[in-house]
Structure 1
Amino acid sequence: MRVKSGREANTRGDGTSILDAFKGAKDQVKVNRFLWTATLQVLDFLPVEAADPFTGVISTGFGTPPGGGQAYRATVLISDPALDARALNVALQTRGGPVSAATERAVEDAILNRARQLRIDAARF
């Protein structure tokens, strides 16, 4: 009977080992840290239900903005490490359904502006 070495004992038939799970998945998206932080800051009035920095998705529950009467919820996708408008996709919804494209664009602009401010502040240090 042949005794398997440590490397052989930990591998499955397909040549991968349990340690490969800790190296990081190949389908992970690298998100821009400034966009991520800016999104959480701009939408801080919404309760975060799920936030996954590995896929770039932030999902919130319903919340009312300060001084507003309408409740919103948001799903945000940050799909790129670049600080760029193409890397950010915001979907807003009210209890009555989706909001206008202009409202979504205004929230995206607020997030992008805050992200740029954060990047400028980080460059100072």
Structure 2
Amino acid sequence: MTGPTRILGFGLMASVIALSACSRGNQAPVETRPADEIIDDIIYEDRPRPRSTIWDLFRERPDAGQIGSVNKYIWNATLETLDFLPVESVDPFTGVIVTGYGRPPGGGQAYRATILVNDPALDARSLNLALMTRSGPVNAATLRAVEDAILTRARQLRRQDSNL
């Protein structure tokens, strides 16, 4: 290295050290709340966090006909009615069932379905069904027939539950 290059290198190194020393001196520690408090704010918003007691055993319980936020009768009826379709993914908390292609008993056409059960009520509006063949969506009559079969089975399951 020649003299001017060496002087330039030392000058750059000195300026980097001086700048880094200046930036460290004025930083204050960051104060954050505990993670539990942040999560409570997100989950409970302005409501107080619920506390359980022994008296909770005697309180009225939520409807047993629900799995997460979906109706258990529609959920189970869907799985029973479409049991010929291989299940690819299931999420009872969001109410989504995704199946692969399968053939109904005695049928020649292969179907696949995506189901959304989005309401805890035993009602037709709680069931959203998309039924496909390899060539595209099925006709409306077939879709309606499958929806009716699922809802009929859900009502049967509810009747069986109430007789116990």
Measured after TM superposition, the shift of residue 57 of structure 1 is: 0.6
Distance 2:36 2:160 in 1: 47
Other-structure match for 1:35: 74
Note if 1:16 corresponds to 2:36: no
Residue number in structure 2 paired with 1:109 = 148
Matched, 1:80 2:119: yes
Q: In 1, Cα distance between the equivalents of 2:158 and 2:100?
A: 28
2: CA distance, partners of 1:34 / 1:68: 26
* TM-score, structure 2 as length reference: 0.61
Q: Please tell me the residue identity of whatever aligns with 1:103.
A: T
Residue 89 of structure 2 aligns to a residue whose secondary structure is: strand
Whole-angstrom CA distance in 2 between matches of 1:30 and 1:11: 25
Q: Which residues in structure 2 correspond to 1:41-120 (within 5 Å)?
A: 41-120=80-159
Which residue type is aligned with residue 103 of structure 2?
T
1:16, distance to aligned residue in structure 2 (A): 2.3
Distance in 1 (CA, whole Å) between partners of 2:36 and 2:76 is 39
Give the distance between the partners of 1:44 and 1:92, measured in 2 at CA: 14
CA RMSD of aligned residues (A): 1.6
Aligned partners of 1:57, 1:16: CA distance in 2, in Å?
A: 26
Tell me which of the two structures has the higher relative contact order, counting C-alpha pairs closer than 8 angstroms and 6 or more residues apart. Answer: 1
Give aligned-pair identity as a percent.
64
Unmatched segments (≥5 aa) in structure 2: 1-32, 44-67
Aligned length: 106
Shift of residue 9 of structure 1? 4.6
**Counterpart amino acid of 1:115?**
A
TM-score by length of 1: 0.80
CA distance, structure 2, for counterparts of residue 47 and residue 115 of structure 1? 20
Instruction: Tell me which protein shows more helix as a share of its residues.
Output: 2
- Report the Cα distance in structure 1 between the residues aligned to 2:73 and 2:88, rounded to whole angstroms: 20
